[in-house]
Amino acid sequence: MRFLAAFWTILAATASGHACAKPTGPPLTFLLSANVTAAPKFVVGPEALGTRVGLPIAGGTFAGPYLNGTFLPLGVDLGILTDDGKFYPNGVAYLNTTDGAIIVFRDQGYQADGAIYGSVSFETGYEKYKWLNTVVAISSAALTPSGSGSGVGLDIFIVGEIP
């Protein structure tokens, strides 16, 4: 019984010491920058938080120290456009790397102070890029006009080091 009392005392002291430490943010590693071209947007309709709009993916490019390539002309961002003009993305696109790998790219986020921030995930069966399946990634994006449709410029970062 004394052992358990000592164990819980040490555990509580350790936990409380950690909780009092000044929090620090995780390190970020740059993965890639992308310019996505969207076809003309379409309106899906009103929802609780705003209007659901679709931005079909027409193409685009991405480049970074670990992978480069193009966006395939499939996928769509079915985000919410709020009454105050903010955009909350919820998209899926397909990346085609220069060495032929296909990678599913998903991004869901919110807009604050003009920038759009998102939580990114990847999915692929290509051995060289399987490490992307388990990373924690974030995006910083901005909508950009281009021709009859619109586009998105974004930077993607991995939390921590590249595995």
Mean pLDDT per 10-residue section of the chain, whose length is 163 residues: 57 55 93 95 94 96 98 96 92 98 98 90 98 97 68 94 87
Range of the domain at 45: 23-159
Which pLDDT does position 148 carry in this prediction? 46
Whole-model pTM?
0.82
8 within a domain of the structure (yes/no): no
Tell me, what CATH number does 107's domain have?
A: 2.40.160.20
* DSSP assignment string, 57-124: EEEEEEE-SS--EEEEEEEEEEEEE-TTS-EE-EEEEEEEETTS-EEEEEEEEEEETTEEEEEEEEE-
Give a yes or no: residue 42 inside a domain: yes
Please give the Cα distance from 122 to 57 (Å, whole number). Answer: 17
The verdict on residue 135 lying in a domain is yes
Residue 56 domain flag: yes
Residue 119 backbone phi and psi in degrees, to 5:
-100, 125
- Tell me the sheet residues that pair with 101: none
How many domains would you assign to the chain?
A: 1
